[in-house]
Chain A
């Protein structure tokens, strides 16, 4: 079973920041938080991942709480093309284990 809890759906106005929450209260010390998104019927797209520090790349920012029990993915200026299902996944990094376990994700709808 997935080790994360996400809201099933969220709306966001175009041009505004989209903040997608994720709870992972049972995360272990060696587990990373990964975010992927899947635009309708395409392959999941890697967005970002982090261990305990906040991370930023050209797509998004990842904010992880100090106790690591929750995180937030931030899309700073959402566009219509960001409409997708967003998956938050926790997994160990490195090694020969760690296939991705997907939950149901959050369906983000960006509206004009």
Chain B
């Protein structure tokens, strides 16, 4: 069974731009969670989607948003990029509920200049 895939793997943007990252969960998984990893803050939870609805949200500003499609694929968007948004963005999927074992994708490395 194929794992979680994320596109693109690497991205360079400039301050003020916006970016959209994509995540395809493991086949049959319906819950998708997003995490941000930075050297200073470590791995932090952004939000979780299930059946096209956001169920949980971490402590991030409204510039960070996401959505989930009917095929469980998910996208996250960051608007008005700041230098501090440079990070590894990770997507994880689980079968039905976020409380089940989550499996991570390889991540998207975002660099904001």
Contact = CB atoms under 8 A, between A and B. Distances in A.
Given A41-B88, A44-B43, A44-B90, A100 B102 contact: yes
Interface string B12-49: 00000000000000000000010100000011110010
A107 interface: no
Chain A contact surface mostly? loop
A44 B97 contact: no
B89 to A, nearest CB: 10
Interface residues of B, number: 27
Nearest to A34: B101
A46 B103 contact: yes
Given A41-B109, A99-B48, A101-B45, A94 B101 contact: no
Contacts of A42: 106-107
A93 B4 contact: no
Contact of A94 (B42, B97, B103, B105): B97
B98 interface: yes
Interface in A8-65: 34, 36, 41-46, 49
Contact of B56 (A43, A44, A99, A104): A99
Contacts of A3: none
Interface of A: 34, 36, 41-46, 49, 87, 91-104
Interface of B: 4, 33, 35, 42-45, 48, 50, 55-56, 58, 88, 90, 92, 97-107, 109
22 contacts: A36-B104, A42-B106, A42-B107, A43-B4, A43-B92, A43-B105, A44-B43, A46-B103, A49-B101, A93-B100, A94-B100, A96-B55, A96-B56, A96-B99, A99-B33, A99-B48, A99-B56, A99-B98, A100-B43, A101-B45, A103-B42, A104-B42
